[in-house]
Amino acid sequence: STLNSQLSTCFIIAHAKIPAGFGAENVSVIPHDAAAFARALYAELHRCDAAGAKLIVVEAPPDLPEWSGIADRLGRAAA
């Protein structure tokens, strides 16, 4: 179906656990630690790009000082 086709090009990157049965096959859960997340995020974005992602959804980082660089980088990427 068209919805399944669209979902196959949508990728989700999160730092929190995704509920079981969410149904998206292109979900990456990377560490909930700012430094580790920052390192893994770069690799995940390249993986999504190489896989032909049409939409990449990244879970908003916590509003904490150690996550501010990640929030800034994601904000610039989304602009």
DSSP codes joined into one string, the chain: -HHHHHHTTEEEEESSPPPTT---SSEEE--SSHHHHHHHHHHHHHHHHHTT-SEEEEPPPPSSGGGHHHHHHHHHHH-
The predicted structure's pLDDT at residue 50: 92
Instruction: Give residue 7's pLDDT band: very low, low, confident or very high (50, 70, 90).
Output: low
- Residue boundaries of the structural domains of the chain: 2-78
Q: Is the pLDDT of residue 30 over 60?
A: yes
